[in-house]
Structure 1
Amino acid sequence: MTCRTQDLTITPYPSYQRYITESRRTDAKALLMTAAGDLERCYTRINDYEACFGDLNVSGRESENKFYIIIAPEEDDLEPYLYVLSAEPQGAQERDKDGCGTFTLTHRGERGAGADDCW
């Protein structure tokens, strides 16, 4: 009987871990959407995304629960009329084995990640 009890308590753990990992991905999505909104508001004022990146300190911005951080393009790669934001996993989220990894969002609203079903 002890063996069955152990099996029952161990079996759900991987499913729970997968659930936690997947739920943390919302942290990346929220971070990117917030940063994109900030960039769009800035762009309506000065018509230059490149200047907005500096004004808003977008690069290095952490998600609310610190599972993701925004990595902005290198300064030489910034363009005044477009952007690509990337949210890289941090800490425990770096072990996300389902392939989502880094999330991206562009000025056109195009979304990307390591796998097709991440967004």
Structure 2
Amino acid sequence: MNRGKPMAMSHEKGFSLPELIIVVAIIGILAGIVYPSYSQYMYEVRRSDAWSGLTAAAAAQERWYSINHTYTDSIDNLGGSGSPEGYYSISVEADGSAFTLTATAITTEVQASDSGCTALTLDHFGIQAPESCWK
């Protein structure tokens, strides 16, 4: 038994500076690893907006063809020039017997930074380009 000085109670609360620096460094490292993967994932998810707009316009183009026996070169005849979520603008090129639809990322939206996949196309054969962007 200790009959000398009573044990002093520690009144220190919180974290020391080295502990805080270590925690902040770990969080920084994890954020540096996770953020680029998350950004790439979000670009891929937003491409589905282009896919939705292009397939809807292609379906409208086929309906137009079944009634008029020619493809239209007016996007207004196909339901408008925007994708459902608004990340892309849709345009059409047609010569009567063939068409190509293009979804172009709107420059003021975040999708404009999707390198290599800012313009997606779908033609009358169903060919999608660039192929690497249609995962």
Which category describes the TM-score, using the shorter chain as reference length?
A: 0.7 to 0.9
* 2:78 aligned with 1:62: no
Runs of 4+ in 1 over 4 A off after TM superposition: none
**Which residue, 68, 76, 80 being the options, matches 2:96?**
80
Provide the identity percentage.
32
1:31 has 2:53 as partner: yes
Measured in 1, the distance between the counterparts of 2:75 and 2:42 equals 34
Which of residues 121, 129, 133 in structure 2 aligns to 1:104? 121
Please tell me whether residue 117 in structure 1 is matched to residue 132 in structure 2. Answer: yes
Q: Give, in angstroms, the shift of residue 25 of structure 1.
A: 0.5
User: What runs of 5+ residues in structure 1 fail to find an aligned partner?
Assistant: none
Structure 1: distance between partners of 2:75 and 2:45: 31
Cα deviations across residues 25-71 of structure 1 (Å, max 9, x unaligned)? 011111100000001011111101137x366155x611111111112
User: Does the 8 A contact of 2:64 with 2:72 survive in 1?
Assistant: no
AA of the residue aligned to 2:122? L
Q: Which runs of 5+ in 2 are unaligned?
A: 1-21
**Higher Cα radius of gyration:** 2
Q: Structure 1 41/57 Cα, relative in aligned 2: closer, same or farther at 3 Å?
A: closer
CA distance in 1, matches of 2:110, 2:71: 32
Aligned partner of residue 29 in structure 1, secondary structure:
helix
Q: CA deviation at 1:5?
A: 2.5
Shift of 1:72: 2.3
